[in-house]
């Protein structure tokens, strides 16, 4: 046995500390299948966007194709990643295992992934009964929600991140209900007198209520951990959360029943909430003295993308930017590709190699002279920097292409996103391959 005097310097002591966590954590296959599917869906989205990007500016605009493109990103990449992160983080956030058998979680994944895949395929192949696979995906998503809510209720305490995720679950339920009603009312027009307002409500429940609120909550834990810094006060965060909820509820209600007459007010409240949150994040980076890595650089890009999203939202709501299809597309692109996607890429570049390290290498008892692997050894930093550079150009080109209605610029931006997705998929495979083949340097 190792003596007490030796343990602080011995790699085996450091690595053995993960054993208690592994007992309550889910099997690696559960979150990893979510991340693998998300990387694949992101590449499919980027490839389809690159090949047919000009259809968004042409006269042959097809709603079904756009729906498939949007859901391959929002559900295939964004939602699948968030679900994988929540499955992995639950035992950390609430200090309790997921309150469901692992086979049930696996069944939810199979239902959601297969339903989403068939749903997008039906949309792109112009099938009539695309609502059937959509119902399967929605039913599976309901299973996820039930598991997470049951786990939260069983927890002794819900921390600051958990409170954000709990509120986001409420918005996710509202989003799902509104989506079903929109699908039912698409041809009948008896539920929503203003279908455009209902669509605005649906989009913002997704972008702000579920996705952004989940990202904000998770960032308080992950960004602080990765940046080796933390916030002393939660007061700005509480104010941001309050303003976000007031602004979102007001925007949804105004869009559904009041012909969106007060959009400038709700846009101002939501933008104020975001800027308060962004200032908190920049304080974390200001206190960090170490050199930035690709993961944290992606997070900074996401924060600036969020500023762009707010600026376009304020411009459209106050009438400073002409309300047109192209301006709205730039607004949505800045949200999905400027704020959400870079943030997810940044965090996953830390989470996936860490989980590989945790499940593949940390349970072993390393003894000198065997070198202990670092998390950075399980991924490619060069590819990650390449993703970041390509993402910066891709975001600028896509938003600019929409705003000035340029087919060439938009096409160039779309192919830049394909490069990002390709490098990201390769980097994900570099990390996941360790489950099949252990590096002999650490085996």
- What is the separation, in whole angstroms, between the first and last Cα of the chain? 21
Q: What pLDDT was estimated at residue 14?
A: 35
Query: Residue 6 pLDDT > 50, yes or no?
Result: no
pLDDT digits (tens, 9 = 90+) for 256-304: 887 778 999 999 999 999 999 999 888 887 766 567 889 889 999 999 9
User: Residue 88's pLDDT band (boundaries 50, 70, 90)?
Assistant: confident
Residues contacting 270, CB < 8 A, separation 6+: 208, 243, 244, 247, 248, 251, 310, 313
Question: Would you kindly state where each structural domain of the chain is located, as residue ranges?
Answer: 7-435
pLDDT digits (tens, 9 = 90+) for 168-192: 989 988 887 887 777 666 656 667 7
Query: Residue 389 pLDDT > 90, yes or no?
Result: yes
pLDDT digits (tens, 9 = 90+) for 240-249: 999 999 999 9
- Using CA atoms, how far residue 205 sits from 88, 249, 252, 423, in Å, is 24, 9, 8, 31
User: Residue 386's pLDDT band (boundaries 50, 70, 90)?
Assistant: very high
pLDDT digits (tens, 9 = 90+) for 293-348: 898 899 999 999 999 999 999 999 999 999 888 899 999 999 999 999 999 999 99
Q: What pLDDT was estimated at residue 94?
A: 78
Q: What pLDDT was estimated at residue 428?
A: 94
Query: Residue 398 pLDDT > 50, yes or no?
Result: yes
- Using CA atoms, how far residue 199 sits from 87, 255, 320, 352, in Å, is 30, 8, 22, 35
Is residue 165 within 8 Å of residue 88, measured between CB atoms?
A: no
What distance in Å separates the CA atoms of residue 366 and residue 443, rounded to the nearest whole number?
9
User: Residue 8's pLDDT band (boundaries 50, 70, 90)?
Assistant: very low
Q: What pLDDT was estimated at residue 27?
A: 86
Is residue 31 within 8 Å of residue 355, measured between CB atoms?
A: yes
CATH fold label, 7-435: Cytochrome C Oxidase; Chain A (1.20.210)
What distance in Å separates the CA atoms of residue 442 and residue 4, rounded to the nearest whole number?
25
User: pTM for the whole thing?
Assistant: 0.87
Q: What pLDDT was estimated at residue 426?
A: 96
Q: What pLDDT was estimated at residue 62?
A: 55
Q: What pLDDT was estimated at residue 273?
A: 96
pLDDT cut 90: percent of the chain above it: 49
Is residue 303 within 8 Å of residue 281, measured between CB atoms?
A: yes
pLDDT cut 70: percent of the chain above it: 86
Q: What pLDDT was estimated at residue 19?
A: 47
Q: What pLDDT was estimated at residue 129?
A: 78
Grouping H, G, I as helix, E, B as strand and the rest as coil, residue 275 is: helix
Query: Residue 90 pLDDT > 90, yes or no?
Result: no
Q: Taking residues 137-144, report their average pLDDT.
A: 90
HEC sequence for 363-397? CCCCCCCCCCCCHHHHCCHHHHHHHHHHHHHHHHH
pLDDT digits (tens, 9 = 90+) for 197-232: 888 888 999 999 999 999 998 888 877 666 555 555
**Which among 121-130, 158-167, 421-430 has the top mean pLDDT?**
421-430
User: Residue 3's pLDDT band (boundaries 50, 70, 90)?
Assistant: very low
Q: Specify whether the backbone of 126 is left (phi greater than 0), alpha (psi in -120 to 50) or beta.
A: left
Q: What is the overall mean pLDDT for the chain?
A: 85
């Amino acid at each position: 046995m190792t003596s007490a005097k030796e343990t602080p310097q011995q790699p085996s002591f450091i690595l053995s500390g993960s054993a208690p966590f592994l007992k309550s954590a889910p099997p690696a296959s559960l979150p990893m299948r979510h991340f693998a599917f998300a990387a694949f869906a992101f590449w499919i989205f980027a490839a389809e966007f690159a090949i047919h990007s000009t259809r968004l500016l042409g006269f042959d605009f097809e709603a079904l194709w756009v729906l498939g493109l949007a859901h391959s990103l929002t559900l295939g990449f964004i939602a699948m990643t968030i679900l994988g992160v929540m499955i992995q983080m639950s035992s950390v956030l609430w200090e309790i295992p997921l309150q469901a058998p692992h086979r049930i979680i696996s069944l939810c994944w199979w239902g959601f992934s297969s339903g989403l895949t068939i749903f997008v395929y039906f949309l792109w192949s112009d099938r009539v009964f695309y609502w059937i696979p959509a119902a399967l995906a929605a039913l599976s998503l309901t299973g996820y929600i039930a598991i997470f809510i049951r786990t939260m209720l069983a927890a002794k305490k819900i921390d600051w991140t958990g409170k954000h995720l709990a509120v986001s679950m409420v918005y996710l339920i509202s989003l799902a209900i509104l989506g079903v009603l929109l699908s039912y009312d698409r041809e009948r027009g008896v539920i929503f007198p203003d279908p455009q307002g209902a669509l605005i409500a649906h989009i913002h429940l997704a972008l702000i209520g579920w996705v952004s609120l989940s990202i904000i909550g998770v960032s308080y834990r992950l960004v602080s951990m990765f940046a080796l810094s933390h916030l002393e006060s939660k007061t700005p965060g509480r104010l941001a959360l309050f303003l976000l909820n007031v602004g979102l509820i007001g925007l949804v209600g105004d869009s559904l029943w009041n012909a969106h007459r007060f959009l400038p007010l709700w846009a101002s409240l939501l933008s104020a909430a975001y800027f308060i949150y962004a200032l908190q994040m920049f304080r974390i980076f200001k206190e960090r003295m170490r050199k930035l890595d690709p993961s944290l650089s992606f997070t900074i890009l996401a924060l600036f993308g969020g500023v762009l999203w707010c600026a376009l939202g304020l411009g459209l709501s106050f009438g400073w930017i002409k309300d047109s299809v192209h301006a709205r597309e730039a607004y949505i692109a800045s949200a999905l590709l400027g704020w959400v996607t870079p943030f997810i890429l940044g965090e996953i570049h830390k989470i996936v190699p860490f989980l590989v390290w945790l499940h593949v290498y940390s349970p072993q008892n390393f003894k000198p002279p065997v070198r202990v692997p670092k998390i950075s050894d399980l991924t490619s930093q060069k590819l990650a920097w390449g993703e970041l550079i390509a993402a910066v150009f891709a975001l600028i080109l896509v938003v600019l292409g929409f705003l000035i209605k340029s087919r060439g610029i938009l096409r160039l931006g779309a192919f830049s996103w394909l490069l990002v997705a390709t490098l990201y998929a390769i980097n994900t495979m570099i990390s996941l391959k360790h489950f099949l083949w252990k590096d002999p340097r650490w085996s």
